[in-house]
Chain A
Amino acid sequence: MITPRYHREIPQRYRLEAGKCTGCGKVHFPPRRVCKECFGREFETVTMPTMGKVLTYTVIDIPPAEFDNLKPYVVAIVELENGVRLTCMVAEAPPDKVEIGTKVEMIYRRLQTGREWEVLQYGYKARVI
């Protein structure tokens, strides 16, 4: 885990901050410097809605080493109410409670413990409503 990078990502990971293009209205998460739609360069910071639904998912049985203590766990692509999509874990649910179309809300949780000299790493997960 790269500490300066972690620090930079806090607005997205802790507060779901996105960038809304002032030219065309497209909401980008994470924020971008250049709009994918209209090539514009002016954005305002907006906070994303927390309600959404599962578009697709998987149950990870063989994770990378840093997630080994969580297996098996569910990762999904969630579409939020504003149409923005993101990849996140689905917490607090047995794997068989998640399917395509499951309604979820975004919550704030610890994601990785990391090694003992590293900062604890937090961010968003989804929770089945």
Chain B
Amino acid sequence: MREVAVIGVGMTKFGELWDTPLRDLFAIASANCIEDSGVERDRIQSAYIGCMSSGLFNQQEHLASILCDYAGLAGIAATRVESACASGGLAFRSAYLEVASGASDFVLAGGVEKMNDGADATFCLASAADQEYEVYHGITFPGLYAMIAHAHMAKYGTTSEQLAHVAVKNHRHGAKNPNAQFPMEITLNTVLNAVRVASPLGLFDCSPVTDGGACVMLCPVEEAKKLGKPIIKVIGSGHATDSIALHDRPDLTTIPVVKAAAERALAQAKIGIKNVDFCEVHDCFTIAELCCLEELGVFERGQAAQATVDGATSLDGKMPVNTSGGLKSKGHPVGATGIAQIIELVEQLTGKAGARQLLSPSIGLAQNMGGSGGSSTVHILEVS
């Protein structure tokens, strides 16, 4: 396999973008990315675009073609990738594999979701769970993570206040991100007193409903050198699946698919989690960030909550987590999230993260997850 680099990034602002249609979200992100990469249009051979549910949200399928057409890229090989909320991460992995294999040199990895378009977002998102054996019985996405949270609380003594610290921390980071949907700091009381969605989770334990697009350009490291770009190398790519029904997993406090994907990515990179300087993890709900950190091995099981309270995952902590603001503050346009995580890694590794810039990190990890843990990708990027 060839070594692969990320040489350009572009995204829209995340938010309720009522005046921006689905196709424009991708076109803006793609054009920004191609401009940033410095690659001429004719050299782009292929695109992988993550999108969870344009059919339900926007009544639009056949997505890769329409998006590439409106992005001025008609003619290239284009593929829509779907793995619920991990669609973006999987689009990145697909693009990575195509470049690594030698099949193509310049490949776009994008993600997009237009969630504010009149559809019932709760209903659309629930389609990432088992329709016949979970959703039929009235469960919602917040409800699935709420059940994980109750199990985690019973086993490890995790509290609602500890969960609230995750949201407060991610908003503190997101307040420094100009692309974030909710770039404002919040207090513990705001989280704890918010309206309940699915107990024990309240509104501020949940990531928002977001419109957005994100795009990155991949190419062989050799080509990146010729272009004189900083070399941000993809040193690990892991992907795994699991049963999508939460009730089929042996331990309801764990999300094994994350551990499986991380082990594959870390093995390829030939490093341990201790060598990672910072990470973006899939905090679709506050409890999810804690579970993911425990699966990644950043903390022992049951320890992520107190570590968060103690500041270990803050910008100045030993493992800064979700420096972008995470899904919670930056927003979660489902299909775009996995790509936006990669963009945060690239910005941190190239020193372009502005007010939230870490002190010269060299290795970052992005973990993107589908549903309640039916799929996950993990990518590790290194600056050289």
- Listed in ascending order, the chain A residues whose CB lies under 8 Å from chain B are 5, 9, 30, 55-65, 67, 70, 73, 75-77, 85-89, 95, 100, 111-112, 121, 123, 125
B199–A64 touching, CB < 8 Å: no
Is there an interface contact between B136 and A55, defined as CB atoms closer than 8 Å? Answer: no
Interface centre among A67, A75, A86 (most CB of B within 10 A): A75
B312 at the interface (CB under 8 A from A): no
Which residues of chain B come closer than 8 Å to A111, judged between CB atoms? 136-138
Contact in complex: B198, A77 (CB < 8 Å) = no
Chain A contact surface mostly: strand
- Nearest Cβ on chain A to B246's Cβ, whole angstroms: 7
**Using Cβ atoms and an 8 Å threshold, which residues of chain A touch B132?**
5, 9, 30
Surface stretch bound by A, among B147-155, B159-167, B231-239 = B147-155
Name the interface residues of B165-214: CB closer than 8 Å to any CB of A: 195-201
From known contacts A87-B247, A111-B138, infer whether A30 and B133 are also in contact, taking CB-CB under 8 Å. yes
Could you tell me the distance between the alpha carbons of A116 and B316 in the complex, rounded to whole angstroms? 57
Docked complex Cα distance between A85 and B147 (Å):
14
Contacts of B361 in A (CB 8 A): none
Task: Count chain B residues whose beta carbon lies closer than 8 angstroms to a beta carbon of A.
Answer: 33
CA distance A63 to B137 in the complex (A): 11
Contacts of B197 in A (CB 8 A): 61-62
A contact residues around B246 at 8 Å (CB): 77, 87
Known: A64-B138, A87-B133, A87-B246. 15 other contacts (CB 8 A): A5-B132, A59-B196, A59-B199, A60-B143, A63-B138, A64-B135, A64-B140, A65-B123, A76-B147, A77-B252, A85-B248, A86-B247, A87-B247, A95-B199, A111-B138
- Alpha-carbon gap, A75 to B142, bound state (A): 12
Cross-chain contact B140 with A89 (CB below 8 angstroms): no
Give min CB distance, B94 to chain A, whole Å. 27
**Contact at B126–A60, with CB atoms within 8 Å?**
no
Q: Do residues B151 and A55 form an inter-chain contact, with CB atoms below 8 A? A: yes
Cβ–Cβ contact B122 & A63, under 8 A = yes
Contact among A5, A62, A88 for B137, CB-based, below 8 A: A88
Contacts of B123 in A (CB 8 A): 64-65
A122 to chain B, nearest CB (A): 11
- Contacting residues, chain B, for A112 (C-beta < 8 A): 136
Q: Which of B120, B133, B151 contacts A64 (CB 8 A)?
A: B120
List 3 A-B pairs, minimum CB-CB distance, nearest first: A58-B146, A56-B151, A85-B247
Contact (Cβ within 8 A) B138 A77: no
Q: Is the CB of B247 within 8 A of A67?
A: no
B380 at the interface (CB under 8 A from A): no
Complex alpha-carbon distance, A92 and B156, angstroms = 30
Contact of B252 among A56, A75, A88 (CB under 8 A): A56
When the two chains form their complex, are residues B198 and A56 in contact, meaning their CB atoms are under 8 A apart? no
User: Whose C-beta in chain B lies nearest to the C-beta of A8?
Assistant: B132
Complex Cα spacing A77 to B146, Å = 11
A65-B126 Cα distance, complex, nearest whole Å? 12
Cβ-defined contact, A64 with B126, below 8 A: yes
- Listed by A's residue number, 24 A-B pairs whose Cβ atoms lie within 8 Å are A56-B150, A58-B143, A58-B147, A59-B199, A60-B138, A61-B197, A62-B198, A63-B138, A64-B135, A65-B123, A67-B138, A75-B137, A75-B139, A76-B147, A77-B246, A86-B247, A87-B134, A87-B246, A87-B247, A89-B137, A100-B154, A111-B136, A121-B136, A125-B137
Contacts of B148 in A (CB 8 A): 56
User: Is B138 within 8 A of A89, CB to CB?
Assistant: yes
